[in-house]
Amino acid sequence: MTARIFETPAALLAAVGESFEPTGWVAIEQDRIDMFAQATDDHQWIHVDPERAKDGPFGGTIAHGYLTMSLVNRFLPELVEVRGVSMGVNIGTDNLRFLSPVRAGTRIRGKGELVKAEEAKGGVQAVVRVTVEIEGSEKPACVVDTISRFYPEN
């Protein structure tokens, strides 16, 4: 699991359609879910009440969808490394879909594909589709198109 290295932002332009090696696994434990609930004030019982959640629709607590999505930012540097930049900026996301809940105690990882790259305002804008996989599950937790802009060194 090594990030795909691009020596310059312009190198992204020729790599559209390329898939990247998956990242390492990340454990989603209850304490991480609880910290996310605290940070976002989202204390819904399906996330933070293991006793009640045992009898709920998922058989236990689940991670917030936005917790899962936020970990995409952790996965991106493991998927793609762009060198020769003065800075990289997150522009946003497109097409975010939550497809399967992430139960507390499971592990997730990211898989990526460069779906678009184009010159934009002094740099290169890239769309990397990240699929968040759940260990042992055929259905992913979520899929999101991340949009980043990379500015070359002067």
Cα separation of 67 and 98, whole Å? 11
Question: pTM for this structure?
Answer: 0.94
The pLDDT profile of the chain, 154 residues, written as one tens digit per residue, is: 689 999 999 999 999 999 999 999 999 999 999 999 999 999 999 999 999 999 999 999 999 999 999 999 999 999 999 999 999 999 999 999 999 999 999 999 999 999 999 999 899 999 999 999 999 999 999 999 999 999 999 7
Annotate 39-57 with three-state secondary structure: HHCCCCHHHHCHHHHCCCC
Cα separation of 135 and 130, whole Å? 15
b vs e for 62-89, b when ≥16 Cβ sit within 10 Å of the residue's Cβ? Answer: bbbbebbbebbeebbebbbebeebeebe
